[in-house]
Structure 1
């Protein structure tokens, strides 16, 4: 088959089209890739280690922590072995129990549904993972309540209960103040093995 001459002859216009595609196709691929990445990031952020969504303002972080602790305390008051719960990296709801007993799991589900009745994600608690933990939530919360003065140490930027690690967590600006923080924890009667101290750097607003 003989192709028309205008399809095989290089012209200024065909050069322009070729150059245009050579420049624009990589740019288009980059833009689409960035858009797809933002969608993946958003999907990943839908699963959080704390059940309610955590907003980034300081006031909402405090309110959210208080609300979460109150709900966990409500569950722990009925189930002493309850150490907290979270969504794992696969989005699977996970219960932490100090003493894992199969017959207790269904009861935990009932108490969680009652405590988190206002959370649509927990209206139907289906299959869950159950992992053992060393400390129950009442223990963690009692130690956490003693840590109020830790934030008065210059360079301490955050405190939290980490349900995933089953520990307390303290964020500091630099390694130099770690000894001072540990001395303060001992003074407060908080075992050092319960606390994860990590350098998070200063808070950025």
Structure 2
């Protein structure tokens, strides 16, 4: 399955999944039987890879989502979507979540006018993410902003391209998350 981890390359014909949609090797085209646990584990690993977080962090997000009111799976995705590195990616300042994480770690952004260099900061509705003045001439950021029209910006975010500024309008709901994620499988896995 295509997870769009390689940024711009995933939107071209050079994408490995589009060229060869099976694992490498002699037995790559076989169809192995996968158990129920295997399906659940693969879904969790897929979500971890998409958002680029480690197991301990992911478990923490799950426990936090379990404590919140509402559906645990939807709460989990909402928490993951509101991470600073993901919001930077969604606003189009970076071509991949990995690149967004690096840009955040290198002090290119401010949140509500304050320095923000921790990718896992949870953003709330009303938070303003702005590119620092000295970073506005960085080539990769400008290229990503030009390519954002192809990818689109979610409903829960707002981008002022000329001011290099974005804002979180509301908490993302399940309909806003377009990735092919079955969060119920993750909840079942952690509920064992």
* Larger helix fraction of residues: 1
- Do both proteins adopt the same fold according to a TM-score greater than 0.5, normalized to the shorter chain? no
Higher Rg of the two aligned structures: 1
Tell me the TM-score normalized by structure 1.
Answer: 0.26
Considering Cα pairs closer than 8 Å and 6+ residues apart, tell me whether 1 or 2 has the greater RCO.
Answer: 2
